Structure formats: C-alpha cells, structure tokens
Amino acid sequence: MPPKPAQNIRKAPQRECIYTFTAKESGALLELLFALLPDLSRTTVKQYLRNRCVLLAGVTTTQFDAPVIAGDTIEIYNIGTAEAVQHPLIEELYRDEQFIVLHKRPGIPTISVGGASKSSLFQVVTHHLKKVDPNEKIFLLNRLDRDTEGIIIVARDRQLQQDLLAEWRSFVLSNSFEAVILGALDTSSGELTTRPTKDKKRGPNKRRTARSSTRDSKPATFRASYEVLTTGPYITRVKLSLLTRNNSIRSTLASIGHPLLGDHRASESIAPELSKYLALRATELTIFHPIRRQKMQFTLDTPFVNLDKISQTRLTAAQKEALLMEETASSKSIKTH
C-alpha cells in the first residue's frame, strides 16, 4: 500500500515583538501610540491595545490612558497574551514577558501526580495561555503540594528556568511561610535542618511523587530558620524562612513531633482532626528580576486559609491526653542555633 501523502499542517505563528519605542515625553499611552505609529490607522493601533499586544515597561496593558513617563519602553507584539487566569483555586498576581506569579489555594496540585489528575495548576494555566497563543509554554520554578496554600512562580522560557534553578539563591532573596503546629517548641527561634528520605508506602492511597525539572536528581538538604509568633501549651504559630530551594516544611515538622494542624499524613497524631485545612501558608516571596534588575516582592493579600482562627483551636480533654502521650513517645528534637 503506497504511503499516504503528508498533510499540510499549518503551524501557529510565533509571537514576536514588531515595534519597540522609548518614550521621549510623558503622556497617555494611546495618544503616544498614535504619534509613534503614524503609518498605521487609528483603528489598527486601538486593536493592538485591545488585543493585549502592547507592553508598557514590560507589562501588558489594555488601558488607553495608562500614564507613560519619559524613558519608558513601549513594545508591540504581533500576538497578544491571554487575560489573567480565572479559576476558583488560582489567582494571578503578576505577569510579564519572563514570569507569571500565582496564588495557589489548597485543593489543587501544582502538577499532576502519576497522571491521576488533569486539574493541576500547571495544566490549567497552560491551557488558558494556549487559547490565545498555541506556542505558549510555562516552566515551573517552585512547587507546593495539593494541600498547601502559597505562591507559585513560573518562567515563560525553558533556558531562563534552567539558569535560575542553577542560581537559586541569587534569584530568590526570601521565601517565607507561616504555620500552626502541634505542641510547643523548645526555643523561640532557631533552625531546622533535615535531609529528606523517600517515604515508605502506607497503602494504595499513598500519593506518588511526580518527577519535575524543579527537583534535583538527588535529595537535597532542607534548611529553614524559624521564629515563634504565638505559643501555648498545645498549639504554636511559627514563621519559617527557607534557606534552601528544598521545601520540606511539612515532613520536617512531622518528623520532629510537631505536625501541622490539618496534616492528614500525620495519621498517628491528633493533628489531622484539629483543622479542616492544612495550617501552612506561604506569606512572602521576594525575587531579584534578572531582566529588570530589581527586587520584586509578592505577598498574599487575601489568603484563603485563616491561620488566626486555626491557631485559636481548643483541644478537648481527650485530645490533650492524646497529645501528652505523643510527646512522651517522641524522642526527637530540632537542631537550634
């Protein structure tokens, strides 16, 4: 049988910058565009703006009266970008040509685990962007598990991702979390240090660890400084600042006998029954933007998990007795400095 003739597959055009200007005077964006593009019709110029093809100082805008300051860079692309991600568990905090920063609420994994779910943050965002530009791709720079609320940052270029992962401490200036844990820590501040080990299977529902280029091929040391914010005899609220790219807060706290409230993985503890949600939340991420050459800080202004309420949880007499038994049985301690 003769081979079938090759079909002509029309590839989507590549997104590229077609105009770049440096504003010589201040004014409203649209009026300046009319002056900068005299050979184009006013309708065409308005379409570029309406279709999200215009970047002002590196950020997409559709605002016709956006204030332009002399010296600002104005770029126009042949293809626009998708609007901000709209999803009940994902909020877009920031986007430019290099990065997208997202607020991930509990209930959605960063990436699919073992192909079990198609509703991951990675897939939702990728699908959303490709509706406008089929060539659009994203590359994860950090991850959070399904139950953790926090800040996810993705690169829009593979080489940029690889470069930043290799120079992580120069890129991420600070990465802070708040947590509510079971029991009281020995000191008001210190450092946690562990080297992760592979979890043993606990049954058919044990989650498998997905492979991702954001992870090293060998387990990396986890280090984080901590500071106690509020404490009581049974529950402590603590701030943690990561000192490495490895984010093993959840397993580390469980391993030293202070699991997070709401941590269903701590099945031998009373921690899972004390909160509906995992009491862990990223509160701040500060990066050094490699292109803009400036520091950028991101925070969660409208967090979903109410740590104030969780930290005020009261234990029943039976739970207090169970906690006392846990503490007596535990011989582990944290390393403090």
Q: Can you give the residue ranges of every domain in the chain?
A: 17-77, 86-194+222-313
If you search the block for the tokens 């900068």, which residue do you land on?
Answer: 36
Read off φ and ψ for residue 149, nearest 5 degrees.
-90, 140
Phi-psi region of 58 (alpha: psi -120 to 50; beta: other; left: phi over 0): left
Element (H, E) at 95: strand 90-95
CA distance 185 to 232: 10
Contact 53, 79 (CB under 8 A): yes
Tens of pLDDT, residue by residue, the chain (337 residues)? 555 554 555 566 888 999 999 999 999 999 999 999 999 999 999 999 999 999 999 899 999 999 999 999 999 999 898 999 999 999 999 999 999 999 999 999 999 876 555 689 999 999 999 999 999 999 999 999 999 999 999 999 999 999 999 999 999 999 999 999 999 998 999 999 987 555 444 444 443 333 334 555 455 789 999 999 999 889 999 999 999 999 999 999 999 999 999 999 888 889 999 999 999 999 999 999 999 999 999 999 889 999 999 999 988 888 888 887 777 766 444 444 4
**CATH for 86-194+222-313, among 3.30.565.10, 3.30.2350.10, 3.90.190.20, 3.40.50.970?**
3.30.2350.10
> Which residues, in sequence order, are CB contacts of 11 under 8 Å at separation 6+?
none
> Which residues, in sequence order, are CB contacts of 174 under 8 Å at separation 6+?
241, 284, 285, 286
- Looking at the domain covering 17-77, what would its CATH class be? alpha beta
- Angle, vertex CA 275, rays to CA 271 and CA 279, nearest 5: 85
Contact 166, 311 (CB under 8 A): no
What pTM value is reported for the model? 0.81
